[in-house]
Structure 1
Amino acid sequence: MRLKDKEELAEALIELKQSQEREKQLAAENQAILDAISSITGADNKHHIFHELKRVLSLHIDFSDFVVLSRTQGEDSYRTFLTSNSAFVNAQWEQSPKFERVLDGECTILFEPNKLQGFSKLNHFLRDHIQSVLLTGIKTTISESVILLLGAKKGQFSLETRDTLSRFRPLLERAIIDIEQKESLKELVELRTQELKLAQQKAETANEAKSRFLAMMSHELRTPLNTVLGFIDLLQEDIQTPQHLEALDKMEISAELLLVLINDILDLTRIESGNFPIQKTWVELHSKLSVMLEHFSKLARDKGLEFHVDLSFSEREMLWVDPTRVIQIVFNLVGNAVKFTEQGYVSIKGKLDNDVLRISVADSGIGIERDRLEHLFTPFKQADSSITRMYGGSGLGLSITKHLTTLMNGDISVSSVKGKGSQFSVSLPVVSKPIESSPIRFTPDIELSSNLNVLVVEDTYSNQMVIKLLLERSGYNVTTLNNGQEALDYLKGNIKSVDLILMDMSMPIMDGVTATRHIRKLCNITPVIALTAHAMECDKQKCLDAGMNAFVSKPI
């Protein structure tokens, strides 16, 4: 074989060996990239990504230190994001053409790193330690990151190491974009969650403020209303002229309608705030409903309507329900039926069906259009805004009825045809049992003594007048005082001569609850009855806890 052929063969063998080594290296890098994909794509944050990149690169590239610089969009300088050398922790780096090139996708070798501004600011010991730099960059819509591999020897990085870093760059870019989107989404979710919590807190605060305001307004309206209704009652006893009596009757009806509105608003406030307890007890419901329906029977007859009542469950049947709320539901439904029916009939049916109380109220009234039924149980809304002007009312009754039905685990539905009438159907789960027979006992009629001394503690003068006149007409001796402190001072010397105390809650100097606690230290026998415009259940409980015997809500 000629010498030339031998040389060519040797060169070919060398190239083949180099090619095989390069293929082997590429295969190792490919495997490393595959391994890195699994680790990096599962990263929780950018720190994790760069830590894993440092570990993988160290298997294929020889470098002394690893530094990642980063800045977000809008920032002027780069800060050290991650480093293997604490000397770089607080370093700041200005933008440079080299950084712009690598951020556009290049991988670059710096053979004279001291010419780069960031390195020139380092102390001379550290600067002399850095003889070559291999760098690349990643630019996203959120941030810019520059990765620096530092070498302590000149010529430490070659074109091969640059190519190796280039092969890892797309993986790194994808991982950073994904993690930034993930972090951005997480921050957005946290921000929205915080905003939602803040909005919820504001809503709860506003709702509490609304509840306090409505409770206060209820109290402030009940106080003068007590005077109005009281004086109307007194005048009805004194005046005999039919014309004047008719005027007083209309005044009384208007005042009672105002009271119904106040009660509706207060009920809705308690329901919305979650402070509306259902108090079930064994009750003979048939007679209670019958008494209540007698009221509407007269109203219906006055309008010329037929009024049918069919309560098919037995009068000897006891039901485990909240009788007040069941009656309130029927009251609201029948009241609407009578109000919105000008001719024809109103029909009420009630029956027990496998421990379910089913009540239906039907009428031949104005009816409701189909597209308005969905708003029927919304507070302060009626089927048609013109109805409010024509028939009056706040639009709270059906909303409260719906809430009450839901609170008792029941259901309410409505069917209606415009111009022909409506039917409301309520179903409530109940437990029933027959009334136990008991021997009849005859007791003599009890005559209550009228010559009793009553102490009225009330800060409003007009209410003092009404209560005093009502009691004195019944033959009682009445003393009025303005606040709890006056009552306490009076009772210290007169406790044995007082037969009954009527106590307001809200008064200046000393309120009724505080006064009652002090009175109970003097005497535990004299009955104390709360007579107050506060009508919430918590107000009643507060009075009873203080030692009062009973609770009467104004107006009386």
Structure 2
Amino acid sequence: MADTGSLKAWQAHLRSPLYFRQSLLATYMLAASLSSLLFYLIPPGQYERNANLLFSLLTLGMLPLAWVRSLFTPLLHLVTLLSLVLVTYIASKTGAVNSSALVWLNVLAVPVLLLQGPRAALAWIAVVLTTILALLLGALTGHLDTRIDLIQEAVPWAFMNQALALGNLMLAVRLYERLHQRQMQQLHERNEEIQRTHEALLVAQAHKDEFVAAVGHELRTPMNAILGFNGVLRQELADRPEQVEVVDHIRRSTGHLLQVVNDILDFSQLQAGKLMLHLEDFELQALMDEALQADRDKALEKGIVWHGTLDPLLPARVRADRQRLLQILRNLLRNALKFTAQGEVLLHIHASHERLNFEVRDTGRGIALDQQAHIFRRFEHADVQTTRAYGGTGLGLTICEKLVQLHGGQIGVRSLEGRGATFWFHVPLMTASPTAAAQPAEAHLPAEEALRILVVDDNAMNLMVARLQIQKCWPKAEIVTLDSATKALALLREQSFDVALVDMVMPEMDGMALTRQIRHLFPAITARMPILALTANTNPVDRQRCRDAGMDEVLDKPMDLQTLVRSVTHHVLKARA
């Protein structure tokens, strides 16, 4: 195993950019050494040719050092310096500034440019220019002889200067091309690796979404049963206050757990960019009343003044995602109540500059200025003590911020420590359509209505809860419960119902497939039968799939009795019209 690891490490080193640059340095040193050795073999007869031999031996001797990581940069500059010294010496003996050896000075900075970059190359160009200037000054002062002796031995030497300098320059160009190809290959490999990582992340995200959705469904399903039975149990124990208090504790604890699950599901969908807004026309007064109603009893228990005000200049009806605005307001109000021991909590709604403004003011502990920037971050409270004292997941304000941004608005806080806090947000103000504003209030089905209701769910506990809840709303209703879509199809061949409540997730045939089959096989029977989906899945994509399949509405588990009554009433009366 150790040998395999060492082999892989060596293979990785061979593919590394450093190894490639070390190879280029070794090539540069070898080319310089061989070029100098050729000049030693063909002497011009004007300088001591042992200088070429010495340079070749030194360069060849240092060649193994090119593979030492820490010596890479010093060795490059040392070889360049030795080359400069050799060329300067030869030029001083062969005509100074008139020497053909000066052509090598044009080549010296090129390897540095390739291996160290433009800054180091510019430094060497400055050194080269200084050297040429020194040779010129030496010639002008008479210290160096500028005459060139045209002896027969100097001709091949001069030719070799030009030819080898040009050859080394071409070698540098080739090395640059090779370096560029290598860099492009590495870039391509990195891009492919990034693409593979991206695809893996997409798969992981999809698996995470599936996991979160599955966990959410599995958690919400038993909570549906707990809350459903809780309401029935409370009604049965209405004359026993002590037992009712225990039942209420169960309901509050389950509601808190449900809120945590919903926060996690919403946060997951917001992070994945899958949460979509569903715009509808609604009354602002009703929105404010519903937002305040959720925690009114808890506020009264603490002795908190709990109220809201609505600007009279606002339009009575507006257009937005009502459920998401309600979620934001409930989160902010619940947060204000949590941190307010006495005084008041006020919800104020007003408009300005074509914006719908919401403010939640409290007289609580307030937030220090240096901590206000952190409270909208996920999993964070203002401080550790807050987390220990008040609990919570730290997702509530983060979800609020993301929902407000999804609306195209902004959210913020104004607070002084010890003097309360005001959380505010605004969204674009869109007024409802005139036809929507003129709609009359919906009628209600009386409790004595003898409805025929079909409930289809593969979970026996859910069927029991649904029966009890529906019976509570319409005591005289005839309720038929089935545990499979196949049984529902068989029954609908013989009987008709006023409304059908169908679970979205079922084995063999899910609620969407069942709905499509019903709409296709029994058009005459089902044309007047609304089909309402029951689901513990909060994914808006799946909910839209329910509507696309022909379902009239999607109801959440656990079922809210008021929502159940409103939806059944609306669709049954619509079908009878």
TM class by smaller structure: 0.5 to 0.7
CA contact (8 A) 1:455 1:501 kept: yes
CA contact (8 A) 2:314 2:350 kept: no
- 1:248 paired with 2:247, answer yes
Q: Deviations over 1:168-194 (max 9, x none)?
A: 256446545655665555455444444
| Inter-CA distance 190–376: structure 2 relative to 1 (3 Å threshold) | farther
* Superposed counterparts of 1:286-325, under 5 Å: 286-314=285-313, 316-325=315-324
Separation in 2 of the partners of 1:440 and 1:536?
30
Separation in 2 of the partners of 1:109 and 1:347?
94
Residue type of the alignment partner of 2:487: E
- 1:486 paired with 2:484, answer no
CA contact (8 A) 2:294 2:330 kept: no
Q: Deviations over 1:220-240 (max 9, x none)?
A: 111111110110011111112
Residue type of the alignment partner of 1:206: A
- 1:500 paired with 2:499, answer yes
Residue type of the alignment partner of 1:370: L
Residue type of the alignment partner of 1:220: E
**2:426 alignment partner in structure 1:** 427
Q: Deviations over 1:274-315 (max 9, x none)?
A: 121222333322332133224444432321223353321446
Separation in 2 of the partners of 1:215 and 1:196?
28
SS in 2 for 1:108: helix
**2:6 alignment partner in structure 1:** none
CA contact (8 A) 1:368 1:421 kept: yes
Give the RMSD, CA atoms, in angstroms.
3.8
Identity of aligned residues (%): 30
- 1:546 paired with 2:546, answer no
Separation in 2 of the partners of 1:484 and 1:464?
14
SS in 2 for 1:427: strand
**1:455 alignment partner in structure 2:** 454
Residue type of the alignment partner of 2:537: H
Separation in 2 of the partners of 1:500 and 1:479?
11
SS in 2 for 1:375: coil
| Inter-CA distance 369–208: structure 2 relative to 1 (3 Å threshold) | farther
Separation in 2 of the partners of 1:192 and 1:370?
44
Of 201, 206, 209, the match for 2:207? 209
| Inter-CA distance 194–441: structure 2 relative to 1 (3 Å threshold) | closer
| Inter-CA distance 105–422: structure 2 relative to 1 (3 Å threshold) | farther
Which is richer in helix?
A: 2
Residue type of the alignment partner of 1:209: H
Normalising by structure 1, what TM-score? 0.68
Of 234, 237, 257, the match for 1:236? 234
Q: Deviations over 1:41-84 (max 9, x none)?
A: xxxxxxxxxxxxxxxxxxxxxxxxxxxxxx96788xx9xxxxxx
User: How many pairs are equivalent?
Assistant: 430
Structure 2 unaligned spans of 5+ = 1-18, 42-106, 116-154, 560-577
* Superposed counterparts of 1:121-200, under 5 Å: 158-168=156-166, 171-172=169-170, 175=173, 182-183=180-181, 185-187=183-185, 189-200=187-198
**2:136 alignment partner in structure 1:** none
- 1:108 paired with 2:111, answer no
| Inter-CA distance 187–345: structure 2 relative to 1 (3 Å threshold) | farther
Separation in 2 of the partners of 1:268 and 1:188?
38
CA contact (8 A) 1:325 1:404 kept: yes
Structure 1 unaligned spans of 5+ = 1-70, 79-94, 112-135, 143-156
Which is richer in strand?
A: 1
Separation in 1 of the partners of 2:438 and 2:407?
34
Separation in 1 of the partners of 2:444 and 2:483?
37
Measure how far apart 1:375 and its partner are. 2.5
Separation in 2 of the partners of 1:185 and 1:343?
67
CA contact (8 A) 1:504 1:531 kept: yes
SS in 1 for 2:379: coil
- 1:219 paired with 2:217, answer yes
| Inter-CA distance 381–201: structure 2 relative to 1 (3 Å threshold) | farther
SS in 2 for 1:360: strand
Q: Deviations over 1:128-182 (max 9, x none)?
A: xxxxxxxx9998898xxxxxxxxxxxxxx94343111233256446545655665
SS in 2 for 1:368: coil
CA contact (8 A) 2:314 2:351 kept: no
Residue type of the alignment partner of 1:389: R
Measure how far apart 1:548 and its partner are. 2.2
SS in 2 for 1:426: strand
Separation in 2 of the partners of 1:355 and 1:271?
26
CA contact (8 A) 1:104 1:139 kept: no
CA contact (8 A) 1:285 1:323 kept: no
Residue type of the alignment partner of 1:232: N
Residue type of the alignment partner of 1:108: L
CA contact (8 A) 1:365 1:419 kept: yes
Q: Deviations over 1:431-467 (max 9, x none)?
A: 3479789889899875466433322211111112222
**1:85 alignment partner in structure 2:** none
| Inter-CA distance 347–212: structure 2 relative to 1 (3 Å threshold) | same
Residue type of the alignment partner of 1:106: S
Normalising by structure 2, what TM-score? 0.66
**1:400 alignment partner in structure 2:** 399
| Inter-CA distance 280–518: structure 2 relative to 1 (3 Å threshold) | closer
Separation in 1 of the partners of 2:443 and 2:292?
31
**2:348 alignment partner in structure 1:** 349
CA contact (8 A) 2:111 2:172 kept: no
SS in 2 for 1:374: coil
Separation in 2 of the partners of 1:210 and 1:529?
28
Residue type of the alignment partner of 1:243: E
CA contact (8 A) 1:341 1:364 kept: yes
Bigger Rg, structure 1 or 2: 1
SS in 2 for 1:212: helix
CA contact (8 A) 2:328 2:400 kept: yes
**2:532 alignment partner in structure 1:** 529
Residue type of the alignment partner of 1:253: R
SS in 1 for 2:246: helix
